Structure 1
Amino acid sequence: MPQPKRIPGSRRRERGIAIMLTAVMLFVLVPVAGLALDAVLLYALKAKLSTAADAAAIAAARSLNVGMTLAEQENEARQRALDFFRANFPNNAYNTSNHSVNVTVAETAFRTRTVTVNAAINAPQYFMRWLGFSSTRINALGRASRRDVNLVMVLDRSGSMGNAATASSPCAVMKNAATTFTNMFAEGRDRLGFVAFGSGYHIGFSPSMNFKSGGSSSMPSRLGSMTCQGGTSTAMAAWKAYELLQAIDEPGALNLIVLFTDGWPNGVTADLPYRRITDSRYGGGIRTDSTTTTTTRNINTRWQTGYPNYATTYSMLPSPCRQGSTSSPPYHYYNMRCNNSSCSSYTNYSSPNWNPNFNPPTRLGVVTQAAGDQDTLNTGATVGPIRPEDSSLTDAGTTLVSGLDDCAATTAVSNSWTGVRRDVAYLPDTDAYGNSTRGFMDFPGVMQFSSGPYVGKIRIDVPRSLTRAALNAADSAASRIRSDVSLNPVIYVIGLGDVNHEINRRMANDPTSPIFDDARPTGLYVYAPTPTELNYAFVRVASEILRLAQ
């Protein structure tokens, strides 16, 4: 088949068309490519600007605690925001220009301050200059909120913390760490207070927004005046902290309890029933009554040794406490004491049930063990009943409760502390605040009465029983506090040295707790093996709280 003939000069004409088409396409493709490259640059600068604005807002919100007045705090926050922004996005960085940063601090919700950072820059254009665009304005917004806190510290000042006057003692280190912790919060916005506890408790500083000011009456100053002595009544102290949060009654705020302890709970505060009947129990330095002077009013003049050994079981007479006064029949377990004002006649009763008219009221007091162990000894010292509220931050916490005369546990006789097992029948199933003394830890063997008038009750004369009851009460208190769906309290626990890790995790509702409940506020347990790690532990808890507050 014959081929068509090529027209002479056609190839040269095709080449000219290709050049023209390429020129036209370059006129379109170069701006498109330039737009793509400039868009990538704008996207990168926008991301960098947003990061700088976010960092500035977060840093400013975290610095709202700096300053003694709200104005000082807001000024500090603005300056901190500018400093962080410039550190992350310096002037003229990446050939940008015309930087603008505006920082505002405003209350945006109940007890919530929000820092807003508006930033803008002119981003350079390179390829788009061909179309007359030399720069593009980019804006970014950073925002961080800080919710004010109601926080009560619960500080263990028991005797195992050592001498507060010794700088290296756990007591002294704890006070310094607690002071550093306090200063991390905002004067005039956050509300802080603390409860100190040993055997008893003392409200060292009632929650206030003015916790840094006041000189010697400020919270840091009050922390510095504290001494350490006594037992470990954890449940009572935690509940007192909760009562302080209840009194504030601010469901919209972040309500917090921060508990520090260096040991196992071993003290229980309860309405203690008094012994009216003879039963069998351990002795230990307790005196019994002489039978020769039963008509005397002052029973303290007729004590004689009778139950001296902690490891020996005795058939022990009822409490020698006297119910009543000289103006009315002062009932006693074995007689009506005086049937008339001259005491010329009286009525005697006999064992084991004794005087049916003798029915002394329960007395609020703390019982604790002083056997020197945690959860191993069935015999040893148990002491009390101690007055629940200490008079000051230096009170030794050894004052016994009053209200009945002639008791075994009185300061008028020697070995008065151990008289608690002569006076008190048993430990109730709930403490004075409704916290269960049963549940978490059980009471096998001799830890509860297996026979006699108080069968099934928790024994007051077994050190291990009091430790376990104290653990149960602390566990119950924390669980009940977390169940408040109005205040939603969050509990943090800091443990030092030889502590019971499980109870601390349970109280905090730490994610590692064996009973962790994700439906209730999640806290944190931080452990400090030695006092040198204690400051870090407090700072870590403070950082976690401030993170939650944002």
Structure 2
Amino acid sequence: MSEVLRPQPEGVPGQRPMPSHREKGMAVLISAILMFFTLGTVGLAIDGGLAYLVKGRLIASVDSAALGAARGLNLGDDVATANAAATASATRFFNANFPSGYMGTDPALTTITPTFTLLTTGGVANGILQVDVVGAVTAPTYFMRMFSVPNIRVSATGTATRRTLVMMLILDISGSMGSRNTTVGTIPSTLVSNASSCEAMVYSAIQFLNFFSPYDYIGVTTFSSQAQVVYTPSTNYKKTGSAGAAKAIANQDCTGSTNTTPSLELSYAAIQNVGLKLAMNEIALFTDGVANTVSGAFPLRTQKDTRYSPSPVSAINPPSTNVQLLHSDPNNPYSPTTYYLGTNVTPTLDSPYSTAQTTLKNSGVTPLYGDSRFLPLSAVQYKKYTDLAQGTRDAFGWYLGSASGPYLPRWIQDSGAPTNNFRNCQNNDAASEFAYKCYMMAVPSASTSPATVTGSITVTPSSSGTLYNNGSSSSVGSMTSYSSKYGYRTGFQKTLPNVNVTAIPSGFPTPSSPNTLVSSQIIAYIPDTDQFGNSNRGFKDNWVFEVNSNCAPSGTPVNGGNLCRFRGGDWGSYSSVGEGSNFFQSGPYRNYLRPDFNNPYPVAAMNSTVSAANKIRNDTDYNIRIDTIYLMGNENVVDRDFLQIVANVEQIKPIVFDNGTVSPYSNPYFNPNQQKGLAMATTDGSQLAGLFAQIAASLLRLSR
């Protein structure tokens, strides 16, 4: 069968032939299918983009809510109320950043869920509180609903961490703070006008507690003559009644001295006992004055030396075999001594005189007891002598065994001893507050076991009386707490309530009020380290306190109204004042801090406080920060750098009593590797609450 040839259509060479009807139908079908998927893809992209915008806003909002929740934790008095306050704070922060109905989201389906977790390391709490806020919203779809997806659930989690605060609040309750205006035990709701420093401190410290969270640990240490933890650090510190810290603070009144160092030691141990090394560990120290109490193992004096004698009325009672009290007699070469009771001369021999005594008297010789030329004595004269001597050798430096003699010296004679040395050493005049220097003071006891007595000694102000210069009648002024040559001091006291003072060995004088004989007679010197191993030597070694007076500007609120205070200075600039040094310059205890006048005690106390603070800040496990508040003006002495060094500030700032005479200068003891604290000062008790609030604000920033 032959093939039929059909003619080809005319057209452009190489052009594709026109599709058939079947081919056109397939193209339409494929296009329709592709359009369906294209619309779905575009819709997914658009709805997904909108969801992405919602997600971005949600992330920012829950992050803000987490921070808000962390801040809100400070608003409750216990964990439950703190969590509720934090949740409310998180909601406010979230709503402020995620407006209701944002991008069509459904407000009714929006949820915010905070959770609070104390983190652990190896199963042990580490001091970090983690706040997680989960936010979820329902975003509408515009294209995906054709695929039965009317909305999209979008969620995000915001996380914030808050360092737990572990803080010990140290409060000075020494006597210079004055007495409470309100009844002890009362929690003051307001600060009364003309409040005492003690009242202002109690009120401000209680208000300070309100800034912090029930997740924080807060404790309270107080110090005066002793230091003690009155509230162990706890998260329950905001509770009412005896379970809370506010009541522990309200139970304080102010009396005693200023024993600062032990309060730092107790607070340091309390923070370690909590054991949260990653927490914000803090000591906030409030005080109104110079540390003036020294603790330690005080070595007993076993060698003769020259020092100030017991003041004001304590008498030496040497053993019956004592031959160590040196004395000279420039007035009568025939008498071993010129001392009798409270006078400076040997008493006159009583009449009637024998013929030999009368002849001697008529030749111009004064009839004195102790002059061997007037022996033998009559019965009347001998009785008078024994009455005056009271059967002992304490009233005379010699002894008459019988009326016919001989006079026997009771103490070694030394031509180097000053006039009236026996009087200076005996120092038993109860009428005035004398401060005499005793040349080669007798050793109180031959006992050397134990070799030290452990306790604390503090300087105290004079209650009355006048000081005199080495037995003369010329006054050298009223006795003050930090005298550079004189002064009252206590006997041994407890440093801590549960640590007893070591017993004084047998043979040493028994201390009696005012106990200054302890530091003058019994103690060899102030030890180089305190009861806790801190150095009593340091930045104040050459300091003298009651010099360099200057006045605050007129109108400055200062306790007592006197605008002027001693600022102290280096003894090299005041060499004519007092002893000229805090150290023995000669004798067996050369180069040791002297215990026989007042100025060295605050020197040692401030040195040990700085040493303790440095030790605490040097603990790299707990990284403790120390902040200080100084209420100046309650004492006649103020100090510029002491508490600023304790706080480890970079720059020492002037105080109000400098009044433009001093510019800021670099702290020579600043350690950049330790925590830097705040050091604040005021003369006005009504400003204390504001200073505490500034410390709180700083701590809250650092704990985030």
TM, length-normalised to structure 2: 0.58
* Structure 2 residue 245 is the aligned partner of structure 1 residue 155: no
Query: 2:493 — aligned with what?
Result: 387
Contact 1:286–1:419 (CA<8 Å) still a contact in 2?
no
CA gap 1:46/1:441 in 2 versus in 1, 3 angstroms: farther
1:431–1:437: 8 Å Cα contact kept in structure 2? yes
1:461 and 1:173, CA in 2 relative to 1: closer, same or farther beyond 3 A? same
- Structure 1: where are the runs of 5+ without partners? 1-34, 127-133, 321-332, 334-354
| 1:305 is aligned to 2:428 | yes
Give, in whole Å, the separation in 2 of the partners of 1:172 and 1:405: 44
Report the equivalent of 2:452: 362
1:317 aligns with 2:438: no
The separation in 1 between residues aligned to 2:314 and 2:632, in whole angstroms, is 38
Contact 1:382–1:418 (Cα < 8 Å) also in 2: no
The Cα of 1:94 is off from its aligned counterpart by: 9.2
Which residue among 259, 262, 269 is the counterpart of 1:233?
A: 259
Query: Is 1:178 the equivalent of 2:268?
Result: no
1:375–1:92 Cα change, 3 Å? farther
Who is 2:644 aligned against?
505
The match for 1:105 is 116
Please report how far the alpha carbon of residue 290 of structure 1 lies from its aligned counterpart in structure 2 after TM superposition. 4.9
Q: Larger radius of gyration, structure 1 or 2?
A: 2
Distance 1:316 1:141, change over 3 A: farther
State the shift of 1:449 in Å. 0.3
In structure 1, how many angstroms separate the alpha carbons of the residues matched to 2:164 and 2:597?
Answer: 46
Specify whether residues 214 and 305 from structure 1 end up closer, same or farther in structure 2 by C-alpha distance, changes over 3 A only: same
Contact 1:385 1:409 (C-alpha < 8 Å) held by counterparts: no
1:91, distance to aligned residue in structure 2 (A)? 2.9
| TM-superposed deviation, 1:251 | 2.3
1:72 aligned partner: 81
Cα distance in structure 1, aligned partners of 2:243 and 2:151? 59
Distance in 2 (alpha carbons) for counterparts of 1:519 and 1:358 = 45
- Give the deviation of 1:451 after TM superposition: 0.7
Match status 1:486 vs 2:513: no
In the aligned structure 2, how far is the partner of 1:210 from the partner of 1:495? Answer: 28
Cα pair 2:55 2:156 within 8 Å, conserved: yes
Q: Distance in 1 between matches of 2:623 and 2:674?
A: 8
Shift of 1:477: 0.7
What is the CA–CA distance in structure 1 between the aligned matches of 2:684 and 2:63, rounded to whole Å?
38
**What RMSD over aligned residues (CA atoms) do the two structures have, in Å?**
4.2
**Deviating more after overlay: 92-101 vs 158-167:** 92-101
Q: 2: distance between equivalents of 1:408 and 1:185?
A: 52
What is the CA-CA distance between 1:379 and the residue it aligns to?
A: 2.1
Change (3 A) 1:195 1:409: farther
Check the 8 A contact 1:270/1:428 in 2, yes or no.
Answer: yes
Deviations 1:286-334 (A, max 9, x none): 4223569779xxx9x99970697555322263564xxxxxxxxxxxx2x
Q: For residues 358 and 530 of structure 1, what CA distance do their matches in structure 2 show?
A: 50
1:468 alignment counterpart: 603
Q: By how many angstroms is 1:438 displaced?
A: 1.3
Q: Taking structure 1 as the reference length, what is the TM-score of the superposition? A: 0.72
Could you say which residue in structure 1 is the equivalent of 2:476?
A: none
Q: CA deviation at 1:162?
A: 0.8
Secondary structure in structure 1 of the residue aligned to 2:581: helix
1:541 aligns to 2:647 (yes or no): no
Residues 29-428 of structure 1: pairs in structure 2 closer than 5 A? 52-87=61-96, 89-92=98-101, 98=107, 99-109=110-120, 110=125, 111-119=127-135, 142-166=158-182, 168-187=195-214, 189-213=215-239, 215-283=241-309, 284-290=311-317, 305=428, 311-315=435-439, 317-318=441-442, 320=444, 333=445, 355=446, 357-371=447-461, 377-389=483-495, 391=497, 402-404=503-505, 408=509, 410=511, 413-417=512-516, 419-428=518-527
- What are the Cα deviations for residues 152-173 of structure 1, in whole angstroms up to 9, with x where unaligned? 2221111111102455111122
Q: C-alpha distance in 1, partners of 2:584/2:247?
A: 47
Q: Contact 2:629–2:691 at 8 Å: present in 1 too?
A: yes
Comparing 472-481 with 497-506, which one deviates more in the overlay? 497-506
Aligned AA for 1:423? I
- The one-letter code matched in structure 2 to 1:242 is Y
Letter in 1 for 2:224: G
Residues 43-92 of structure 1, C-alpha deviations (whole Å, 9 max, x = no match): 8x988766654443223212324445433332221122113333555535
Q: 1:290·1:304 contact (CA, 8 Å) conserved in 2? A: no
SS, match of residue 604 in structure 2: helix
Quick check: 1:57–1:144 contact (8 Å CA) kept in 2?
A: yes
Alpha-carbon spacing, 1:408–1:58, altered in 2? closer, same or farther (3 Å): farther
C-alpha distance in 2, partners of 1:425/1:213? Answer: 50
State yes or no: 1:518 paired with 2:624. no
Deviation at 1:441, TM superposition (A): 1.9
Does the alignment pair 1:438 with 2:537? yes
Q: Equivalents in 2 of 1:179, 1:542: separation in Å? A: 13
CA distance, structure 2, for counterparts of residue 423 and residue 505 of structure 1:
35
Structure 1 residues 57 and 526: alpha-carbon distance in aligned structure 2, compared to 1, 3 A threshold: farther
Tell me the distance in 2 between the aligned counterparts of 1:402 and 1:90.
75
Greater Cα shift, 374-383 or 73-82: 374-383
Q: 1:440 to 1:375 in 2, by over 3 A?
A: farther
1:427 Cα offset (Å): 0.5
Does the Cα contact within 8 Å between 1:319 and 1:424 map onto a contact in 2?
no
CA distance in 1, matches of 2:595, 2:488: 7
For 1:457, the equivalent position in structure 2 comes to 592
Cα distance in structure 1, aligned partners of 2:588 and 2:316:
21
Match of 2:582 in 1: 447
Change (3 A) 1:117 1:309: same
Structure 2's unaligned 5+ residue stretches are 1-44, 143-149, 183-191, 323-391, 396-425, 463-478, 543-570, 572-579, 653-666
Count of residue correspondences: 466
Q: CA deviation at 1:424?
A: 1.4
Deviation per CA, 1:207-229: give whole Å up to 9, x if none. 33333347324322111111111
In the alignment, the residues of structure 1 paired with residue 61 and residue 670 of structure 2 have an alpha-carbon distance, to the nearest angstrom, of 38
| Cα distance in structure 2, aligned partners of 1:140 and 1:319 | 82
> Cα distance, 1:103 vs. partner?
2.6
Among all aligned residue pairs of Structure 1 and Structure 2, give the percentage whose two residues are the same amino acid.
29
Q: SS of 1:269's equivalent?
A: strand
Q: 1:61 to 1:459 in 2, by over 3 A?
A: same
SS at match of 1:446: coil
**1:180-201: CA deviation from partner (whole Å, max 9, x where unpaired):** 22343333x3322222111211
2:283 and 2:624 in contact (8 A); partners too = yes
Paired AA for residue 365 in structure 1: G
Query: What SS does the corresponding residue of 1:388 show, helix, strand or coil?
Result: coil
1-structure distance, mates of 2:221, 2:492: 18
Asked whether the 8 Å contact 2:459–2:482 carries over to 1, the reply is: no
